Structure formats: structure tokens, C-alpha cells
């Protein structure tokens, strides 16, 4: 499962007059005729909006999120929907364009049945849409973006599922280096969109285990793996943590091994993908790699869902699983209080309820990060990733 490219430019767009007018609308759920055998009764439709990229190179990733949301909606309508309403889904393609991402919030607000949103796919698109989401009172569940900036802007309508970059790095360092007191560790990253915050978090976690640790940051432009490998080895580390993506840092790991490095490797969730196994299995053999995705086959609460989910989406990916979980949060929150408008749903979410989803158990801080973030540790083998343990043992995974 490949980590998706999360872009860095901040496209925060202020709320327009159209969005302000949308905020003043009365949101009345639309009644729809219930089919036979109850032809004289009505159901109300509650809709989940999904704002992701569905055009261009990232379209397949956005589609995975959509499939996950649709599967959760279908599952709810088949087995759990109370008499009186059904769930629907509506997609909004941001086209990987910041202006479109911001505009989609206003378009969604014009549909009175849309009570909550799932989105966006990338850091840049999410940051562009945040002011609009807040202006029209949407509770937004973020299924994919781990960048710290998403919950650092002070908006109180954002709820992120995966651990942020700093927390993920810290959890890895505190878990994997738990019994390695006294060694020297080095976190390496590029100065691009993803990696530096993970690396700094790793150092915090390592130092909590009394492991000497530091960060070595390389420029993304003109990156030379061989020269970078020499810089790493000049520090004489015994453990090297790669905070980045396989396509960017895999060649550095290989160059370090070719330079006769005999220490241990570890890597962030940017390495939890098929490319690592296909191209660097020997280089990372035995190394531990982080992932936000739990081993679903070992989640007791997911046993009844997996077969139906797989029948609907095919192979389950990290993005489809997190799309499913994002929809679960919205559906569960609405069901607890009968929230049928976006304002009432947001009010429910701000009361900080807890949720059990396909990918984890959640409560959220006031800024929208998980109260107890978690990651899962896998070990690299020549044939794939073998689950090792969660960073925090809470009974969610057997």
C-alpha cells in the first residue's frame, strides 16, 4: 500500500461572499419516498460529502477513499439504518486545484442533505479548504493527511484519523528503540513535503529511551544518495531511521548498505508499500517499518465487516479502509443524537464522543487530532511485511 504524495504548499483561501450566504441557509433534510412495502411512508436522506482528488495522476487514490465511504454507507443502509432515514454519498472532485478545493465546500453547503464531509486527499487541498469548511459549519473527517499543519490552524471542526507526523515518529522511536538504550541513532529526511516532522518526532521518542539521536536533513533538490550516504556514515550511527518515502530515500538506504554499514534500519510509513518489498527487500531485511493501518485480520471488531467490504471494493487498501472509517465516524455521531443537519452533527462531534472504527478507536482533541494516536509496527521480509506489534497496546488488535 503506497503512501500518497502529500504536497506542501499552503493554499489557504478566505471565505467568499457565496460561502457566507450558504452559511445563512436553513438546512432541512429532504424527504424521499420509501419504496414498497411501505409506499405511504417517507425516509429522510442524510448525505456524506467526499471531497477528494478524482482527476489526474492522483485520481486512483481519491477513488479508493470514495470506495471506502460508499462501502460504509451501503453497509449501514443494509443492516443498521433506523426507520426514518437512509444514508447517501456525494463526491466532489477538487482536481488537485486549491481554488476548486475551496469552492467545493460552498457547493456541498448548497445541498441541504449533506451533513458532514470526508476529505481531502492531500495536505495542500485540505489546507485550501479549511476556512470554507469552518465557515459553513461542516464537521470534516480527514482520512489520509498526516501533516502537522492540518490541525495546527486552530479550526475546531476538523477530525483527523491517522496519527500526525510528529506523533508517528515519536511512537516509532519510543517503541522500536525501547530496549536499545545506549546506542546512537540518526533520523534522515529530505526537506520536502513529508519527513522532517517525522524525523524530529523520532528523536523525541528515542531520547525518551535514553538513546542518543539526531536529525540529518538533506535538500530535495539535487539529492545525491552516494554523497548523502557518506554524510550519514560520518556520524557513525548504529541505527538509521528513514523518515520519508521509498521513492526518495530507498536509494540512500541501498547506498549506506553498499558502504558496509552493519547497523539497523527503521522507516516511517512512507516505506510501507509494495515498492519497498519489490526493490529494497534485501536492503531492509529485518527492519521495522511504521504504518497507520492496523492488520485488519487481527481486529476483532472488524471480523463481521471484512468479507462484505472486500466483496464491494476488492482488495482493501489503506485509503479505502480510512475512507470507510471516516464514514463510520460521521454515521455513528449522527446516530447517537439524531443529528440531521451539519450544525447538529458538528455540535455532537465537538462534545468529544468516542468511536470504534475499522482502523482504530477514537476520541479527538479540541484541535482534531486523536486523543490517543497509534501506529503499527511491521517487519520487512523478502516476501512482504509481517505484523510485529502496535505502538500502544489497547486491545484493539489481537
Rounded to whole angstroms, the Cα distance separating 376 from 367 reads 23
Which pLDDT belongs to residue 82? 61
Which pLDDT belongs to residue 83? 64
Which pLDDT belongs to residue 43? 79
Indicate if the alpha-carbon torsion angle 143, 337, 103, 8 is positive or negative.
negative
CA angle, corner 97, sides to 22 and 291, nearest 5? Answer: 105
Which pLDDT belongs to residue 262? 96
Which pLDDT belongs to residue 81? 57
Which pLDDT belongs to residue 245? 97
Which pLDDT belongs to residue 190? 98
- What spatial distance separates the first Cα and last Cα of the chain, rounded to whole Å? 22
CB 129 within 8 A of CB 102: yes
Which pLDDT belongs to residue 25? 35
Sheet holding 184-190, edge to edge: 212-218, 184-190, 239-242, 264-267, 288-291, 376-381, 384-390
Successive 10-residue mean pLDDT values, the chain, 398 residues: 35 31 37 45 86 97 98 90 82 98 97 97 97 97 97 96 98 97 97 95 97 97 97 98 98 97 97 97 98 96 89 93 98 91 96 94 96 98 95 95
Which residue segments constitute the domains of the chain, with CATH numbers given? 17-163+299-362 (3.40.50.2300), 166-291+375-390 (3.40.50.2300)
Amino acid at each position: 500500500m503506497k503512501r500518497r504524495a502529500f504536497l506542501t504548499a499552503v493554499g489557504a483561501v478566505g471565505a467568499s461572499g457565496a460561502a457566507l450566504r450558504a452559511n445563512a441557509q436553513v438546512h432541512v433534510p429532504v424527504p424521499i419516498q420509501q419504496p414498497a412495502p411501505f409506499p405511504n411512508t417517507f425516509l429522510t436522506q442524510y448525505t456524506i460529502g467526499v471531497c477528494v482528488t478524482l482527476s489526474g495522476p492522483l485520481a486512483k487514490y481519491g477513488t479508493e477513499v470514495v470506495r471506502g465511504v460508499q462501502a460504509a454507507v451501503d453497509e449501514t443502509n443494509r443492516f443498521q439504518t433506523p426507520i426514518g432515514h437512509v444514508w447517501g454519498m456525494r463526491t466532489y472532485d477538487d482536481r488537485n486545484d486549491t481554488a476548486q478545493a475551496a469552492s467545493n465546500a460552498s457547493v456541498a453547503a448548497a445541498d441541504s442533505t449533506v451533513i458532514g464531509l470526508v476529505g481531502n486527499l492531500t495536505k495542500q487541498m485540505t489546507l485550501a479548504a479549511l476556512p470554507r469548511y469552518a465557515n459553513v459549519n461542516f464537521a470534516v473527517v480527514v482520512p489520509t493527511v498526516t501533516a502537522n499543519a492540518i490541525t495546527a490552524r486552530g479550526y475546531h471542526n476538523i477530525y483527523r484519523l491517522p496519527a500526525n507526523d510528529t506523533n508517528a515518529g515519536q511512537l516509532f522511536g519510543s517503541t522500536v528503540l525501547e530496549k536499545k538504550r545506549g546506542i546512537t541513532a540518526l533520523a534522515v529526511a529530505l526537506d520536502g513535503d513529508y519527513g522532517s516532522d517525522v524525523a524530529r518526532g523520532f528523536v523525541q521518542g528515542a531520547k525518551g529511551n535514553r538513546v542518543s539521536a539526531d536529525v540529518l536533513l538533506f535538500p530535495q533538490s539535487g539529492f545525491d544518495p552516494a554523497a548523502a550516504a557518506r554524510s550519514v556514515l560520518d556520524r557513525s550511527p548504529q541505527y538509521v531511521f528513514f523518515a520519508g518515502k521509498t521513492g526518495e530515500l530507498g536509494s540512500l538506504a541501498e547506498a549506506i548498505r553498499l558502504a558496509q554499514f552493519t547497523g539497523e534500519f527503521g522507516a516511517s510509513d512512507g516505506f510501507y508499500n509494495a515498492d519497498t518489498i519489490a526493490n529494497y527487500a534485501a536492503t531492509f531485511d529485518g527492519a521495522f517499518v511504521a504504518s497507520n493501518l492496523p492488520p485488519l485480520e487481527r481486529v476483532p471488531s472488524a471480523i463481521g465487516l471484512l468479507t462484505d467490504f472486500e466483496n464491494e471494493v476488492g482488495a482493501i487498501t489503506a485509503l479505502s479502509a480510512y475512507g470507510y472509517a471516516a464514514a463510520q465516524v460521521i454515521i455513528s455521531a449522527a446516530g447517537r443524537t439524531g443529528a440531521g443537519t451539519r450544525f447538529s452533527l458538528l455540535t455532537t462531534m465537538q462534545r468529544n464522543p468516542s468511536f470504534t472504527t475499522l482502523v482504530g478507536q477514537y476520541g479527538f482533541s479540541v484541535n482534531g487530532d486523536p486523543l490517543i494516536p497509534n501506529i503499527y509496527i511491521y517487519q520487512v521480509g523478502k516476501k512482504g511485511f509481517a505484523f510485529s506489534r502496535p505502538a500502544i497496546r489497547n486491545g484493539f488488535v489481537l
